[in-house]
Structure 1
Amino acid sequence: MSAYVRFLFGGRARRRWIHLILGGALAMPYVFVGQLVVGPATDSRYVFNDLLLQLLSFAVGLPLAAVTAALFPLTRSLEAGAVRSLCGVEAGLLAHGPARTRAAKGRTAAWFTLHLGFGGIISGMSLAVPPFAGFLTALPLIVWLGGAEAVELPESLDQPWVLALAPVAGMATLLALAGCAAVCGALLARWAPALLGPTPEDRLAAAEARAADLAVRNRLARELHDSVGHALSAVTLQASAARRLLDTDPEFVREALAAIEDTTRRTVGELDAVLGVLRDGDAPGTAPAPTLGADLDGLLRRTRAGGLRVTATLAADPEALPPVLSREAYRIVQEGLSNALKHAGDQVSVRLRIEVADGHLEITVENPVVCAPECRPGGGHGLRGIADRARLLGGTMAGGAAEAEAAGAGPVKTGAVAGIWRLRVRLPMKGPA
């Protein structure tokens, strides 16, 4: 019983009733236009005095409402907002933008017609039924106070039992009104996802927007990881080496501190450039992104300042590379050296080779893998970023280590060389940059 009461008079039913009344209000201009057509067509001067002519005017106005909804794409956005607020339909089931395609406009026109049609009927009933129900409810009291002459009833209804049942009929009329409003509101709420929901084109556009947003987030993650992560690894190694040699080699300590200062200053500039590009695009005034041709020497110099021996073999001219390829190749080399800083220690050498073969730029980074007693947790994102960069450029990435113990060298001790890590990236010189 309580479920029926909530269905008829609950908060959701009342909000849907308001939604229907709004539909009736929106239908009034179209009804007035319909009266301008019906009046001359039927040679009637007072259309308001004839219920049949009013209904005919209402029927003539509904097609005009459908045409309006089809001509104005924003109708879908307005109607979807009203449905979300008043009909209790989940936002994910409704479209968020205007109707662009012919199918979407047709479904919006059908919905607008239904909304105004049901709304006009329920609005008319809401205006006429309550006074009539109130009269029936008060009829016995009116007759008792004023006598039978106070109300002129037809002879067939001028019976005592009619007066006794009049209040019951009045309450039943109100319940019928509430039932009609609840049913119409429930039907509109059920049909709303089908008529106001996203079309396949809308879903595709939303998926493309999500993909673009995810691409921006991934790009931000890659840039921050490669630039800031490398800088922190280099600064950590340089500071560690400077601390160990503070008393024995002051000249090296000065060089390490200068390298730390240069690394941090440059990283702040790169961070501003990354955030500026992601925030405003390639806005003027932002520092250019580092490239292999212009910034490789500085990257090697800062890496060597921490004590890491880097042997670089350049079989290609970095300055002759396309800008996009040069920028992404710089980040790949930077991440490869960062991995060497993290896992090879500062007492081993790293071999870097950059060459062009078969129309591809090949980058190879080799370094011994040292089993250090402490390892940084939460790592592993650098190789994923390199793979993403290579894939976006149409290239490939391969990386792996040959374990010394698996090769028959016996158990690996902490601090010993466990194997050789080799990172190899092939990028096409001309590809989907």
Structure 2
Amino acid sequence: MPRLDVPRLRLPSGPRADMALAGVVLVLAGVAEGQRLGPNWDAPALVIGSWSLAVAVCVALPLRRRHPVAVGWFTVVGAGVYYLMSTVDGPLVVIPIAALYALAAQGRIQASVAMAAVMVIGVGGGALAGTGDVNGTAVFMLTGWLVAVVALGAMRHGRVAYAEEEARLRATRERLRIARELHDVIGHNMSMIHVQASSALHRLQKDPGLAQEALTAIKQGSKEGLRELRATLGVLRQVDEEAPTTPSPGLSRIDELVSSAARAGLDVRIERSGARSPLPTAVDLAAYRIVQESLTNAVKHSGARHVVVRLHHGDRELTLSVQDNGRHSAHAGPGDGSGIAGMTERAHALGGALSAEPGSTGGFVVRARLPFSDHHEPIGGAVDDQDPAGG
């Protein structure tokens, strides 16, 4: 059977909701005030005054978004005076209650509580004065309604504030993640290019052949860096741009890091142990970036010539260490651009830990523990596949 497309009923929101509520209350108040007219539709001055006051209170409600506190006090006082002038129990009390809720929902709890207290005191004073229309039960019920309205408004404010804070935290985490990716990609490749460029300048006159090799390494390193940079910037792409097709780097591309470090004069040895099972994407990427940053620091800061990278694949975690034979005192601190803080954040984000300290036999050692669950979704070819575009 064909489905009938029934349009959904949409309630008004924003200023239109205020105007709709004010209009409904004003009509109902007019009907109530009509009961006070004489048989010839004569309008006494008191009826005209109370009707005019009801109009003013209803008209003020849509202005609460610009002047919330002033409108709130006006509706409270105006409604109070209206009930003193009128002999009918009209629905005008809905207007100050709506204003109270709006104030509490905006976080103006003190102002809303003060207005609610004034309303309760006013109604209670009327009961004590023996007006006849107001008794203790009415005061008790009004107090409960006002407490509920203020509490609901405060809950609304808390939910909105929590959602906004969550959005800010997500945005902050995303910015930090992108910053780490850019730092690791650009920092590593630019460091290697800097070393090779210095070597080429030094050898250009004495040994043009070696200078040409250094320039070739610069070309290859810049190509790799540009490829990874494009993939990283893909998370910031516009809707109409193509998604990056290059897979996230992982330990399957660790040979590229070794080759890049070798072109910078660094001898890197990889030692593996444990069952080389596929790793979760996040763990694989974090391990790759930690090794990459450690090699970058060894080239930039320690003057090392030999580096040993140890990888141990456990059942529920990957442990790795990167140890060089350089001068550990030359390593920059986290605030000096070494990227140790970024590596630590990557490990902590996975529930692991990372340490970076001088080795017991000299040099500098970075150790990381990256845990993962037994039930994870491995990336395709995280161990064996090689990126055909790499080199």
Match of 1:304 in 2: 262
| Structure 1 pair 63–375 and aligned structure 2 pair: CA distance change class (3 A) | closer
Q: Which runs of 5 or more structure 2 residues have no equivalent in the other structure?
A: 1-17, 82-99, 113-152, 378-391
Distance 2:194 2:277 in 1: 30
Matches within 5 A, 1:66-215: 79-80=64-65, 82-83=66-67, 114-116=73-75, 193-194=108-109, 195=112, 199-215=157-173
Match of 1:324 in 2: 282
Letter of the 1:398 partner, please give it.
S
Aligned to 2:214, the other structure's residue is in SS state helix
| Structure 1 pair 250–282 and aligned structure 2 pair: CA distance change class (3 A) | farther
Cα pair 1:276 1:282 within 8 Å, conserved: no
TM-score (norm 1): 0.56
Deviations 1:75-116 (A, max 9, x none): 8xx844x138x97xxxxxxxxxxxxxxxxxxxxxxx76x554
- State the Cα distance separating 1:209 from its structure 2 match: 1.8
Cα pair 1:386 1:397 within 8 Å, conserved: yes
Cα pair 2:321 2:366 within 8 Å, conserved: yes
| Structure 1 pair 332–289 and aligned structure 2 pair: CA distance change class (3 A) | farther
Match of 2:230 in 1: 272
TM-score (norm 2): 0.61
**Which of the numbers 31, 34, 40 marks the counterpart of 1:36?**
31
Distance 1:311 1:269 in 2: 25
Match of 2:321 in 1: 364
Aligned to 2:67, the other structure's residue is in SS state helix
Match of 1:235 in 2: 193
Matches within 5 A, 1:335-346: 335-345=293-303
- State the Cα distance separating 1:337 from its structure 2 match: 0.9
Distance 2:357 2:187 in 1: 21
Match of 1:50 in 2: 44
Distance 1:200 1:375 in 2: 44
| Structure 1 pair 399–378 and aligned structure 2 pair: CA distance change class (3 A) | closer
RMSD after superposition: 4.4
Aligned to 2:246, the other structure's residue is in SS state coil
Distance 1:45 1:270 in 2: 87
* Runs of 4+ more than 6 Å apart: 45-48, 58-66, 119-122, 371-377
Match of 2:127 in 1: none
Among the aligned pairs, what percent are the same residue? 29
Cα pair 1:367 1:422 within 8 Å, conserved: yes
Are 1:354 and 2:311 an aligned pair?
Answer: yes
**Which of the numbers 265, 268, 273 marks the counterpart of 1:315?**
273
Structure with the bigger percentage of helix = 1
Cα pair 1:311 1:350 within 8 Å, conserved: yes
Match of 1:148 in 2: none
Alignment coverage as a number of residue pairs: 294
Cα pair 1:30 1:61 within 8 Å, conserved: no
Letter of the 2:26 partner, please give it.
V
